[in-house]
Structure 1
Amino acid sequence: MAVPKQEKLHTKLLSGMVTVYPFPSGLPATYKSTLFSVNAESSSVPIYNAGNNSWGQPVSYGSFDMTGPVTVTITPSFPFTSFKLLPQSLGITGIKSGSTISFTLSSPANVSLVLDNNYQGRVLHLFAQAPEAGIPTSSDPNVIYYAPGYYDLSAQPPIQPTSSQTLYIAGGAVIRGRIKISNASNVTVRGRGILVNDYDAASDNIALAAEMVSNSTIRDIIVNRNTGSWTSSMWGCSNLNVINYKAVSPRFASTDGFNITSSHDITFDSAFIHSADDAIAIKGMSDQPPAASLPIYNIVYKNAQLWADANNAIGIGAETRASRFENITFNNIDILYNFDDKNHPDVLPDRSAINIFSLHGTFFKDIFFENIRVENAKRLINLHMDETFYFGALTGNWTTFPGNMQNIQYRNITSSSGGSNQIKLQGWNDSHRIEGVSFENILINGSYLTQFSDSRLAINRFANGIKIIQPGGTKKGDSYKASEDFSTVQGKRYWYYRGWKAGVGNYSMTWNPDGSNHWRGNYSWDAIWLDGGTLFMHPDNNVQALLEWQAPKSGTIRISGRVKKGSTGGGDGVNVSIWKNNVMIWPSGGSWQTINYNDATGFAHDVTIPVSFEDIISFRVDARANTGWDTTNWEPEITYQ
């Protein structure tokens, strides 16, 4: 293959130097954008057409290298009134003079232009980069070198670098084709060129794919996928670094930006992604049950800009056939835009800017979202277990596999979005819970999340051990007070309303069978109810009333409170005790505590004890010789220490 000389145009002024890469000779006009004229200093920046977005509007992009402060001007070819330069974290305001927008970059950055606040319209992405270093030579036998030019490889198999090879795509090179790295190590894919994939292949239908690749690097290239399947992905990979990768794939749908599937020890640094499905998704893509599937762990994704016209900006799932998802960190990320689905807006229950969605009984542990800025989205956060996804397109299985989500942390999350900003936690059942979730410094449109009563929180009873931490302190989600948590639903806040009879065993009470607003048992007098904010219990002959709490996570708990007679007009009193599973833990002597019929003071209890997930703490009231006047007031509180 003849290797033409690499073409670059330089502009050097006192303020800085700019390098642009001209359109290659022979590039079809369909890949060129005429919507924006862009100059960096006095150099004209070639602008490419990535294809139409979900709403039929073209998306444009361009790139250049720079050192020192650089003035950029953008002139759209169509009328507009207002503009935004994203992300907001860059602090670039710009000036509009006539139909031209100008601004200065003091250092390399990715900048997106939105006109008239229309994120679904004609947008422009610019990639201003530091100059390349360590460029390989075309004469190196271990280098596959594509110099500036247009290469239509659509009729050929993918480019397939092997172990210890470098694939270099120079600035000014546009390849219409695919790249596949398979069963290889020490591979590098790099360059300032562009990989365009706007056709469907019979197999390996992903623009850039890595399978069973280790100790390798992908960096700097731009990938433009303009047909409905993933832009880039990896499967079964380890120790793979992806640096300064850019995907511009707005075609609806399934053009995920770069998916991490069944891999470990992966680092993404400084990615830009505009996709029409998950910008980034971490998936378990095995055909085995979760326990027999590859684990996913040690993932770091940092310093990114994400734009997803559908589904999620950051996603884990929905495919979750992996033995575990563990030690995953997202840090310093700007979410520029996130829409849920153009065909079903505000219908799907699982879409969000930051999402974990599980379809299978597997384990999620130690997952951290830090320093994330959400500019425009609908739902903010979603932690979700379900058995189907996207109207049944994917199905899961929770019946035979264990699994839960533990220690999920959200820290310094800022949203300026006008969407719902909902934060949704949806566990599956008692055996598959979300537990140990913290929200620290969640700032939504200028106000911190401070209370569990916030209408934007949607938490079901299978999500627990939740904390809200704000600059002024902590609101604990791991303290459970029976009277405050009292509910007409069994299991809410892990409280259950039950009874016990010798020869029968435990049974669940039924809410309000006779209009009395009580939990009523199977017999005449056994009941539990709330009156004026005070909790009362009543046994029956040879029937104990049981108020029970099921531990949502392992830890050490303090069980405090007071139990006393609620009716003191007669009778012979009651016997009371506290049990952990089948062992009495209060009183300490092993005998039930008797409360005399007229004892309105009663007894305080304060017990500290370790518990495991799903241990039962049972507060029991039993009659003595008769059940007259046996109404008992008990106010227990359980707090994790």
Structure 2
Amino acid sequence: MVTYPAPAEAVGNSDFTVRVRSLQGEWQELFCYNVKVDMHDVRNASMVYFDCSGPILVEVVKNEGSVEVVLIRPLSSGLECVYSGNRVTFMLDGPRKLSLEVNGDRFHNLHIFANPLEENVPDPTDPNVIYFGPGMHVLEEPQLRIPSGKTIYIAGGAVVVGALVCDHVHDVTIRGRGLLYMSDFEKTTYYRGVEITFSKNITVEGIITVDPPHYTILIGQSEHISIRNMKTFSTRGWCDGIDMMSCSYIEIDDVFLRTSDDSIAIYGQRGDFHGDSRNVTVRNSIFWADVAHPMNIGTHGDSENGGNVIENIVFENIDILEHHEPQPDYWGCMAINPGDNNIVRNIRYENIRIEQFELGELFNIRVVHNPKYNPQPGKRVENIYFKDIVFNGNCENPSRIEGFDETRVVDGVTFENVYVNGRPLKLDSEDIQIGSFVHNVNFIYDKD
């Protein structure tokens, strides 16, 4: 187990005191960082992190009041705890990303990030390494523009105040265990945590981003991008997690995104970025959309030149911890809403677990014309597959599938082993509405 002291200037949260130890080791206290959550009503939550390779005992003390009930999420972790008075203990079975919620409070909760142990840590004397060691680092300019062939390393215990930009570069790595901290940036400045534009062969791994003014990671017209073990918190409008525009060959693995807009969004053309989007894989991740969609596909494209194709997308082994959207047109834990003459096809969602969420729908598959964003409606949706999807909770809004007109249709949606509160999702189910201009919707279930 490896723990990291925080810089003296780091912003802490005193709601909890947290200690960890390996089975044969001594207790080590972790610094509780303050992380803001939820743009609807910004509140202060807590976050701790450390590295480990095996079983770890975790002790959490609630510093005000007693512990009446505890929930450790995602529920799929299967972790149980013991609590008494103001103290909670549980055994962590290895690296995980968790939310510990006391007395039903999801907004002043404790986020626990147990990373795997680091391997092949860069040499700080290497001329191709820009090394931020433990401590507070304020960039001279708000954005650090990274040349090709460089590694940015943010060590555990480091807090870097600023943003990182990969523009027209290749073979760049951004990694470490520390924080990219943007909570003091002006809200009117649309800096992203990490920008990757017109670039290829870029890796982002291990870091934590706190309160970016805009997206955590923007990927624009880039290819062969790998994002692993990334964690983020955001509280402002248009503060999506990871957004991709006109991109291909994107691998996202083991990320935790608590966002105040879409956690993941995949588009075609937007702004300066031109072209289709394809071959995106998102796996082993946790999405917590305090606002908007956990997963959103299709909104933007090249409406003036026939639209774009967004295809060959896989979401696999995902836990959804929240979806809260007051506007019905933006509902859907899993939303496919092409506009701008876009075609969305060959999308697969598999092994998705959706926990109780505040407001929205499970699935929303519609060809749309949203005047706010789309000069033209979308063109079509085809070949969408949902497999092994489970939701247990209350949702008054049925999922929707709907085309736009006779030529702009949804064609080919399959639900295999999709269950709502133990009920199989079926054609005549109250949990789904199939509207006009929809063809070939199928429901498949394994035999008992």
Provide TM-score, normalisation by structure 1: 0.65
Aligned to 1:165: 150
Aligned to 2:355: 375
Deviations 1:412-457 (A, max 9, x none): 01111322362211211111000000011011112212x3111121
Q: What CA distance in whole angstroms lies between the structure 1 residues aligned with 2:301 and 2:243?
A: 13
- Please say if 1:271 is aligned against 2:251: no
Aligned to 1:313: 294
Q: What CA distance in whole angstroms lies between the structure 1 residues aligned with 2:182 and 2:444?
A: 45
Within 5 A, what are the aligned runs for 1:406-555? 406-420=382-396, 422-449=398-425, 451-472=426-447
User: Does structure 2 conserve the Cα–Cα contact (< 8 Å) formed by 1:426 and 1:463?
Assistant: yes
**What's the RMSD between the two structures over aligned residues?**
1.9
Deviations 1:460-504 (A, max 9, x none): 11111100111239xxxxxxxxxxxxxxxxxxxxxxxxxxxxxxx
Aligned to 1:138: 124
Question: Aligned to 1:468, what secondary structure does the other structure show?
Answer: strand
- Please say if 1:300 is aligned against 2:274: no
User: Does structure 1 conserve the Cα–Cα contact (< 8 Å) formed by 2:338 and 2:379?
Assistant: no
User: Does structure 1 conserve the Cα–Cα contact (< 8 Å) formed by 2:269 and 2:308?
Assistant: no
Aligned to 2:24: none
Structure 1 residues 125 and 421: CA distance shift in structure 2, 3 A:
farther
Q: What CA distance in whole angstroms lies between the structure 1 residues aligned with 2:372 and 2:46?
A: 32
Q: What CA distance in whole angstroms lies between the structure 2 residues aligned with 1:52 and 1:423?
A: 27
Deviations 1:187-206 (A, max 9, x none): 10000010011213886621
Question: Aligned to 1:177, what secondary structure does the other structure show?
Answer: strand
Q: What CA distance in whole angstroms lies between the structure 2 residues aligned with 1:358 and 1:323?
A: 10
User: Does structure 1 conserve the Cα–Cα contact (< 8 Å) formed by 2:202 and 2:224?
Assistant: yes
Identity in percent:
27
Within 5 A, what are the aligned runs for 1:216-231? 216-227=202-213, 229-231=214-216
Q: Of residues 24, 32, 42 in structure 1, which corresponds to 2:7?
A: 24
- 1:382 Cα deviation from its structure 2 partner: 0.5
Question: Aligned to 1:136, what secondary structure does the other structure show?
Answer: coil
- Please say if 1:215 is aligned against 2:198: no
Aligned to 1:49: 34
Structure 1 residues 463 and 213: CA distance shift in structure 2, 3 A:
same
Question: Aligned to 1:122, what secondary structure does the other structure show?
Answer: coil
- Please say if 1:85 is aligned against 2:59: no
- 1:350 Cα deviation from its structure 2 partner: 3.1
Q: What CA distance in whole angstroms lies between the structure 1 residues aligned with 2:145 and 2:50?
A: 27
Q: Of residues 143, 165, 182 in structure 1, which corresponds to 2:167?
A: 182
Aligned to 1:394: 373
Question: Aligned to 1:349, what secondary structure does the other structure show?
Answer: helix
Q: Rg: which structure is higher?
A: 1
Deviations 1:576-619 (A, max 9, x none): xxxxxxxxxxxxxxxxxxxxxxxxxxxxxxxxxxxxxxxxxxxx
- 1:107 Cα deviation from its structure 2 partner: 1.3
- 1:160 Cα deviation from its structure 2 partner: 1.6
How many residues align structurally?
434
Aligned to 1:630: none
Aligned to 1:66: 52
- 1:257 Cα deviation from its structure 2 partner: 1.0
User: Does structure 2 conserve the Cα–Cα contact (< 8 Å) formed by 1:406 and 1:437?
Assistant: yes
Supply the AA of the counterpart residue of 1:97: S
User: Does structure 2 conserve the Cα–Cα contact (< 8 Å) formed by 1:39 and 1:73?
Assistant: yes
Q: What CA distance in whole angstroms lies between the structure 2 residues aligned with 1:97 and 1:81?
A: 8
Q: What CA distance in whole angstroms lies between the structure 1 residues aligned with 2:438 and 2:85?
A: 54
- 1:141 Cα deviation from its structure 2 partner: 0.3
Question: Aligned to 1:358, what secondary structure does the other structure show?
Answer: coil
Question: Aligned to 1:89, what secondary structure does the other structure show?
Answer: helix
Supply the AA of the counterpart residue of 2:281: V
- 1:117 Cα deviation from its structure 2 partner: 2.8
Provide TM-score, normalisation by structure 2: 0.92
Question: Aligned to 1:438, what secondary structure does the other structure show?
Answer: strand
Aligned to 1:596: none
Deviations 1:167-214 (A, max 9, x none): 000000001111001111111000001001121388662121110111
